[in-house]
Structure 1
């Protein structure tokens, strides 16, 4: 049996040789466009992203790497960090619910960074992003995350993002198979992604965790290009990735899931319509439906039904009900439910730092009770809300979120541009969504601070 690293590279090559199916090609363009819109909005709405870019740039002057919406240029790996930070900081980026991974913010940043190196661009942007997104989603699929075992300890986007970014950057650089295996091994040496920035409260760090993955993956690909080797056993050796981080190597069935080249895991990746943690979205939808039946001032008791995954966004209950940072508010189901009942809309314009002091929302969170009502399953928890009002008791369980349409994605893009005070957002949408290439960054408006 060959090493898992070689098998991964072989599976990627098979997909690359066949080319992206038409529907996947179109979907990748849609997700690239969505990510660009979010990144532009982050220049206004996510100070933590700008602080992080300033921090990563200390002592650095110039470079080949371009930053979305900015005239500044950095070394490519730092530019990758910056672009992922912009794409993720608003908590508005795409996510594969079954894999529990945000693919495009990491993979797009890695592709753009590698393309800024001379004599690169061996793979076109859409193909590189499509293949990288597929790999990172398949890594998530293979471990079947349910939020209860070893997978619950890690931000899987970050942990697997190093690998996806390394392969993506390697494809753009034109690395051969052995060099791609080395890139995986060099990415393995940097793996991280402990989940305490999400589970813990009171900090902003959750906003930028995927940025470390894109930066590390790009650097791994650059090292491999220059001839630095790494063990081909980095994925399945005695101290390889899966044994170290998940307790054991992949089973034969899990390997088949990871190495499958017929179906596309990325096809299940969703584009967000609310700028908050994805696990809060079924509860937001339930609150919107219940809100049509009574006023929030009539609520006497509010019970939120959870499983282990949703419970993480509900405890410690006092801090989740009265979050100290906007990042914590977006990672709090009690707060997001109360906010939705009070305001009826959740968007960039009203979910701001001011929301943390919204007296109506904070009063409503005092009525929240948490109850374990759901099994620990793959994908999203169900949005289970039971409300006792002066008119009686109402309950709604949102089991599925609807598929987002192209028009909804376009409207979200325009919303992001208007939020960032960008003129003629329709024209920007046309420019980006019409078969984007590596020069798209140069076609974007600049955001001045």
Structure 2
């Protein structure tokens, strides 16, 4: 049996702009717009300024724009900064089930390398599709398993997506593709310990992955060798990061047959995507019932077990997030801010907002119960039940997040995010 890296290489070699369905091209354009909006917004913020400064120091030829500046640096260094910017607000796209953010690696790399090579817009779109589709399929092989072992799926899968986007523009040969992906397997990394204190390493993950993907392509072009069995081998990517078994490796052979870009969800709120349907439920309860904090006895939400260690526990910390970035991964806070303010934009995840005593008083009343019937991570669903002090019970459910295939955001709403 041929290695799976060869199946991916064949997809990339055969992929042409004309073979991509028109609806996928249109969705990719929106994704590029959303990605650039995220990056530009983040370029004005403290973490954005830091990573842009580091990319400037790293230097290299004037190949690719550092987003939000007049400067250019080597493409590999530009994507380090730009990928971090595009993901840093946690306002960027997500593919359910794989739980990966895609534009911050695939689109960012296609834009930077396309600029470096003077590629046409059609070629940049083609490379963006290549990178995102590969990244998504790599993630879909082991849904939920990376998070369960303490890894960030975007950080792991984005390296392959960035290499696919970069290599498509460079026109890699078949053997070079195998080596590039083999090299990617040894550069994939990214743990989720940031959850313990709300620190910033998650922001860096796609930028670092994009940097590694470009480096993998440059090395492969020069004959540097990587293992062809990087995906399925006994010491390969999946066994190392996802455990011993249960992988759907056949997903990698589905490239070009099913298009994952069609299923990617755009975010309505700048926080963890699993929180969004819960926040929509809280907003509807607020709009329908005008609930006040002093009326609430308790709030209970049903959840699958998978997200608990990221969005619910430790519960006291989630009810009182110690940092504005940590608040993005707190369901008690996110639900409370919707009930109090009726919105959740960038301002609601600021250092000032997380000290709002009215919001925190409600967050203290938010808890959860496990529901084994929730089909996570295939779908991100939401449920909020509010018990009032007078005994009234108010409840809302939402089976899908807004912004995905089942509940798409209007293009105008995506344009207005920033």
TM (norm. structure 2) is 0.91
1:73 maps onto 2:67 in alignment: no
Q: What's the secondary structure of 2:91's corresponding residue? A: coil
Question: Residues of 1 paired with 2:149 and 2:241: CA distance?
Answer: 11
Q: What's the secondary structure of 1:211's corresponding residue? A: helix
Question: Residues of 2 paired with 1:242 and 1:350: CA distance?
Answer: 37
Indicate which of 257, 264, 276 corresponds to 1:262.
257
Larger deviation: 403-412 or 321-330?
403-412
Residue 136 of structure 1 deviates from its aligned partner by 0.8
Give the alignment's Cα RMSD to 1 decimal: 2.4
Question: Residues of 1 paired with 2:118 and 2:339: CA distance?
Answer: 54
**Which structure 2 residues correspond to residues 110-189 of structure 1 after superposition, within 5 A?**
110-118=109-117, 124-143=123-142, 145-146=143-144, 151-189=148-186
Indicate which of 362, 367, 370 corresponds to 1:369.
367
CA contact (8 A) 2:5 2:229 kept: yes
Partner deviation per Cα, 1:80-105 (whole Å, 9 max, x = no partner): 01111111111110010121111111
Q: What's the secondary structure of 2:231's corresponding residue? A: coil
Q: What's the secondary structure of 1:175's corresponding residue? A: coil
Q: In the superposition, relative to structure 1, how do residues 119 and 394 fare at CA in structure 2: closer, same or farther (>3 Å)?
A: closer
Q: In the superposition, relative to structure 1, how do residues 349 and 245 fare at CA in structure 2: closer, same or farther (>3 Å)?
A: closer
Q: Which residue of 1 is the match for residue 353 of structure 2?
A: 355
Larger deviation: 215-224 or 46-55?
46-55
Question: Residues of 2 paired with 1:409 and 1:201: CA distance?
Answer: 35
Indicate which of 407, 410, 413 corresponds to 2:415.
413
Question: Residues of 1 paired with 2:348 and 2:251: CA distance?
Answer: 41
CA contact (8 A) 1:279 1:380 kept: no
Question: Residues of 2 paired with 1:141 and 1:61: CA distance?
Answer: 35
**Unpaired runs of at least 5, structure 1:** 417-449
CA contact (8 A) 2:149 2:242 kept: no
Indicate which of 237, 243, 261 corresponds to 1:241.
237
Q: Which residue of 2 is the match for residue 218 of structure 1?
A: 214
Q: Which residue of 2 is the match for residue 196 of structure 1?
A: 193
Partner deviation per Cα, 1:19-62 (whole Å, 9 max, x = no partner): 21111111111111111112111123x42222223234445476
Q: Which residue of 2 is the match for residue 20 of structure 1?
A: 20
Residue 159 of structure 1 deviates from its aligned partner by 0.3
**Unpaired runs of at least 5, structure 2:** none
CA contact (8 A) 1:374 1:382 kept: no
Question: Residues of 1 paired with 2:343 and 2:117: CA distance?
Answer: 46
Q: In the superposition, relative to structure 1, how do residues 152 and 16 fare at CA in structure 2: closer, same or farther (>3 Å)?
A: farther
Residue 403 of structure 1 deviates from its aligned partner by 4.6
Q: What's the secondary structure of 2:40's corresponding residue? A: helix
Q: Which residue of 2 is the match for residue 436 of structure 1?
A: none
1:317 maps onto 2:315 in alignment: yes
Indicate which of 343, 346, 354 corresponds to 1:345.
343
Question: Residues of 2 paired with 1:223 and 1:103: CA distance?
Answer: 23
Q: Which residue of 1 is the match for residue 382 of structure 2?
A: 383
Question: Residues of 1 paired with 2:402 and 2:331: CA distance?
Answer: 19
Q: In the superposition, relative to structure 1, how do residues 366 and 248 fare at CA in structure 2: closer, same or farther (>3 Å)?
A: closer
1:302 maps onto 2:299 in alignment: yes
Residue 406 of structure 1 deviates from its aligned partner by 8.1
1:284 maps onto 2:286 in alignment: no
Q: What's the secondary structure of 2:299's corresponding residue? A: strand
CA contact (8 A) 1:146 1:152 kept: no
- Aligned pair count reads 410
Question: Residues of 1 paired with 2:9 and 2:100: CA distance?
Answer: 20
Larger deviation: 335-344 or 104-113?
104-113
Question: Residues of 1 paired with 2:172 and 2:26: CA distance?
Answer: 26
Q: What's the secondary structure of 2:43's corresponding residue? A: helix
CA contact (8 A) 1:139 1:258 kept: yes
TM (norm. structure 1) is 0.85
CA contact (8 A) 2:381 2:401 kept: no
Residue 307 of structure 1 deviates from its aligned partner by 1.6
Q: What's the secondary structure of 2:241's corresponding residue? A: helix
Larger deviation: 57-66 or 168-177?
57-66
Question: Residues of 2 paired with 1:400 and 1:185: CA distance?
Answer: 36
Q: Which residue of 2 is the match for residue 272 of structure 1?
A: 267
Q: In the superposition, relative to structure 1, how do residues 168 and 61 fare at CA in structure 2: closer, same or farther (>3 Å)?
A: closer
Q: Which residue of 1 is the match for residue 106 of structure 2?
A: 107
